Homo-oligomer: A and B are copies of this chain.
């Protein structure tokens, strides 16, 4: 009943496969949306369907894995003392596709909250610094910053590839007065 056309590279291929799947998912989800066939992810990763399901029992866990990588990058940037809120916001904006994709399919999933918490915790010290040092006013809360990020993410996601940078800038320009008040 089973087949074997591709050589079984053995268990050692596991981590490699996992990484390939996440990378493939990032590409496929980016191009075709989070509803893209999982089989296309497996195919692009050069991995059997079964392996995909072993690593990620459902679609959401794959989406989260993609986002988790984004988040780790954000946290790394946030932990470097010289990174500014602005830079962080830009980084987040650029990783926005994942965010939006995630939101689209994971609405209501508990894990989404975890991710939001991580983002919040990564931003909090930077935001306080910025407010303390007068870079921005004290008028806007962290909640508002989070909302602003979601708003920028939304418009960036729907912009065409080439326009994204311009659109993001315009969106931040529109929000800055509100955040800096």
Contacts and interface: CB of A to CB of B under 8 A. Distances in A.
Contacts of A91: none
Contacts of A175: 174-175, 178
Interface residues of A, number: 30
Interface stretch (A63-71, A80-88, A150-158): A150-158
Nearest to A33: B104
A9 to B, nearest CB: 13
Chain A interface mostly: helix
A121 to B, nearest CB: 21
A148 interface: yes
A132 interface: no
Interface string A152-181: 111100100000000100110111111101
Contacts of A181: 177
Contacts of A110: none
Contacts of A76: none
